[in-house]
Amino acid sequence: MNVITCFDIREPVLHISSGKFTAGIHWKHKHMYHDGNFEIIIMIKGTIYLQVDNQHYTVQEGEIFALPPYHHLHGYKESPKDTQYFWFHFFTKPHGLKSLKIDKYDNKKIQSFFKKEQAVLPLQSKMPSLEKVFILSNQILDVAKNNYFTSMSVDYLLTTLIIELSENYYKSLLGTPISEEEARIDGIKEWIRANLSEKLKVSEVADAFDLNPHYLVRIFKQQANQTVIQYINRLKLQQAKELLLRTNLPIKQIASMSFYPDEKRFMKVFKENLFLTPSEFRHAYTKKFLDSSKFDPEVPITKDTENYRNRFE
């Protein structure tokens, strides 16, 4: 069975706390009870081992764990050192969510819950793309720490993140059959991802699949709506953006790890595509925010706050 939660998004959720956590040696999640609050965990790297009531879950890099209220949560096993994830605690309005158990293969049933005013998340899912989710997560942490004139600024951003995760889940459910050509291009894309390098050329990709380079360029453009070179460059930029957001590495090292020949070339390409320098991009999202290593999960989260009363009572 698959646990899914439906969120009423006619008004934003109420952000409680959030952060980005990095595990030390011998770390495992402390016990906490979700007394009315919802938690979303977005894995950046590593693995966490969570026990929800009496059920064990392994949550790995690139996965989302969306835990509804009224469950006990703790780690049943130590995580690898430097495991890292974003976490978000929030309330919805009274009766603003419902959790259901649905046959995980009944995609049509699950799809029926997606509505204009309702987002849907499963307990555990895989992210098809990290870029948008990481940027939104960092925006939330940045805004939450900057004391905007209205606390609803972070509430709206967090609701946007929920909608983005829900959209990703919805697309994964569609499961439309792909043609032989689409399957072939998907395989080529995966090969490019695995073999990305500073000097990767179209001819090398074509040779790996025993294709004529001109034929590869034509079918790739038809199926992917971009050229092979555009796809390679997009992967490099995506790698660079993730490293800028996830690490404090120097720009020169990020250029190298993103397969650019030198720092100057990297900065030129980045500015042309993002209209920001790498440093400007990083600084837009990396102001200091609450790190959950300083957040004690055993401290109860309560609805008895001024924000909650002003919004929902």
On the question of pLDDT at 290 being above 70, the answer is no
Q: Which residue has the higher pLDDT, 193 or 300?
A: 193
Sign for the CA dihedral angle at 144, 148, 149, 150 comes to negative
CA neighbours closer than 13 Å in the CB half-sphere of residue 77: 10
Tokens of 18: 């959030």
Instruction: Give the CATH architecture of domain 2-176+288-312.
Output: Sandwich (2.60)
78-86: average pLDDT? 93
Mean pLDDT of 92-99: 90
Amino acid at the residue 158: L
Please list the residues that pair with 146 across neighbouring strands: none
Whole-prediction pTM value? 0.78
CA angle 108, 163, 155 (to 5 degrees): 150
| Full 3-state SS string of 18-62 | EEEEECCCCCCCCCEECCCCEEEEEEEECEEEEEECCEEEEEECC
Whole-number pLDDT of residue 278: 92
Distances in Å between the Cα of 234 and the Cα atoms of 15, 166, 189, 259 are: 33, 24, 12, 12
DSSP string, 254-297: HHHHTT-SSHHHHHHHHHHHHSS-HHHHHHHH-S----GGGS-T
Question: Does position 1 have pLDDT exceeding 80, yes or no?
Answer: no
Looking at 1.20.1070.10, 3.30.70.890, 1.10.8.60, 1.10.10.60, the CATH number of the domain 180-275 comes to 1.10.10.60
Edge-to-edge strand list for the sheet holding 47-52: 32-33, 72-77, 47-52, 55-60
Q: Where are the domains of the chain?
A: 2-176+288-312, 180-275
Instruction: Give start and end residues of each alpha helix (H) in 146-261.
Output: 152-174, 180-194, 202-208, 213-224, 228-246, 251-257
Question: Taking 70 as the threshold, does the pLDDT of residue 13 lie above it?
Answer: yes
Task: State yes or no: pLDDT of 298 exceeds 60.
Answer: no
Length of the chain: 313
* pLDDT 10s digits, 96-129: 999 888 876 677 888 888 889 999 999 999 887 7
Q: What is the mean pLDDT of residues 119-148?
A: 86
Q: What pLDDT, on the 0 to 100 scale, is given for residue 178?
A: 60
Residue 157 DSSP label: H
Q: What is the mean pLDDT of residues 185-213?
A: 91
Specify whether the backbone of 276 is left (phi greater than 0), alpha (psi in -120 to 50) or beta: beta
Give me the mean pLDDT over the 242-260 stretch: 89
pLDDT band for 296, please (50, 70, 90 cuts): low
Higher pLDDT, 54 or 2: 54
**pLDDT tops 80 at residue 284:** no
With bands split at pLDDT 50, 70 and 90, how would you rate the model's confidence at 285? low
**What's the confidence (pLDDT) of residue 300?**
66
Q: Please, what's the largest Cα pairwise distance for the chain?
A: 67
Say which residue the tokens 């792909």 belong to. 178
